[in-house]
Amino acid sequence: MKSVKPLLEVKNLHTHFFTKAGVVRAVDGVSFDVKPGETLGIVGESGSGKSITAMSILGLIPSPPGKIVDGEIIFKGDNLLKKNERQMRQIRGKEISMVFQDPMTSLNPVFTVEKQMVETILAHENMTKKQAKDRATELLNLVGIPDPNKRLKNYPHEFSGGMRQRVMIAMALSCNPSLLIADEPTTALDVTIQAQILELFKKMQKELDMAIIMITHDLGVVSEVCDRVMVMYAGKPAEFTETKRLFDNGKHPYTIGLMNSIPKITPNKEKLQPITGLPPDLRSLPTGCSFAPRCKHVMESCLTHDPTLSKVDDNHLVRCLLYEQTKKAVTT
């Protein structure tokens, strides 16, 4: 297969929070790449470091207490960690933009959608106000908001949840970014609206040839839209492969646990099998594999040796001692 140069490469990223209660290792050795035009999913339980990974890419880690203590974030050949705030502001919104879970936290309730969209466009594009307004109308139309000229005059609260999310997506697309990071963009929406928004992402991606990082805790969303997926556990990648392969042949016990905890409609109504136990405290991670205390296949060596992300096949990486050909099982 022809190898495509990645648009984004995150290499060995470590983002920690230095709190009075200890060092929170929110992201602790994350590496992945995103190719132009692809959708990469990042999936994992609450607190696994998905949003902090995204915020690290965008240079939005609150400091103090947060700090990127190691790693590189290479975007279009440049290390973003070497950029200053002014340079990052140019990149955010223009080259890389973001859609958050709850649009009400990112839209300003006291301004009309027109004012907010026009300002965003003018901040990055060399346009007149009139041109920016035309662009805003065009974008609302693109994301499927009927009567866009009239709707521009509305305030955020005058839109339904699904429509507000469309407005957010339109704003994120306003400067034709080459990478869009969507952090749980459909979690707050009901399932029909969720399906519409996911369709919209797919359509936009095709039309605008942009890459997407889709952050979600929902494997259903991953199967709908992602080409490849990184499963995260306790600030580290547990598994990284193509979506189809993850669903057909997921290997990490955590990935399999996530799959078994999705409800399925089957004639014999199999019981859901939730992953028992809780994610670890990121301030005092266990010595070995951080998933070991919850793992059905835990071996003695898992308690002392933290596995590395290893290649089990082409385009398939797993961080588990079962795949590093090791020792005796403690329980099965």
Ligand X SMILES: Nc1ncnc2c1ncn2[C@@H]1O[C@H](COP(=O)(O)OP(=O)(O)OP(=O)(O)O)[C@@H](O)[C@H]1O
How distant, in Å, are the alpha carbons of 52, 163, 204, 292 from that of 172?
Answer: 19, 14, 11, 39
Residue 217: name the closest of 179, 186, 256, 243 by CA: 186
Amino acid identity at 135:
R
Consecutive H or E run containing 117: helix 113-124
**Residue 294: strand, helix, or coil:** helix
**Residue 10: strand, helix, or coil:** strand
Taking CB within 5 to 8 Å according to partner kind, which of Mg ion, ligand X, none is near residue 49? ligand X
Report, in Å, the least distance between residue 233 CB and ligand X. 10
The interface with ligand X within residues 43-82 (CB under 6 A) comprises: 44, 46-52, 62, 65-66
Does 217 engage in binding with ligand X (CB under 6 A)? yes
Interface mask toward ligand X for 140-179; x: CB under 6 A: ----------------------------------------
Q: In terms of CB distance, is 15 or 51 closer to Mg ion?
A: 51
Edge to edge, the sheet with strand 22-34 lists 22-34, 8-19, 66-75, 78-79
Q: In terms of CB distance, is 46 or 284 closer to ligand X?
A: 46
Does 290 engage in binding with ligand X (CB under 6 A)? no
Dihedrals φ, ψ of 42, to 5°?
-120, 120
Interface mask toward ligand X for 5-34; x: CB under 6 A: ------------x-x----x-x--------
Dihedrals φ, ψ of 136, to 5°?
-60, -40
How many CB atoms are located within 10 Å of the residue 226 CB?
A: 24
Number of residues located near Mg ion, criterion CB under 5 A: 1
Q: Which of 15, 39, 51, 165 binds Mg ion (CB under 5 A)?
A: 51
Report, in Å, the least distance between residue 170 CB and Mg ion. 22
Q: Which residues bind Mg ion (CB under 5 A)?
A: 51
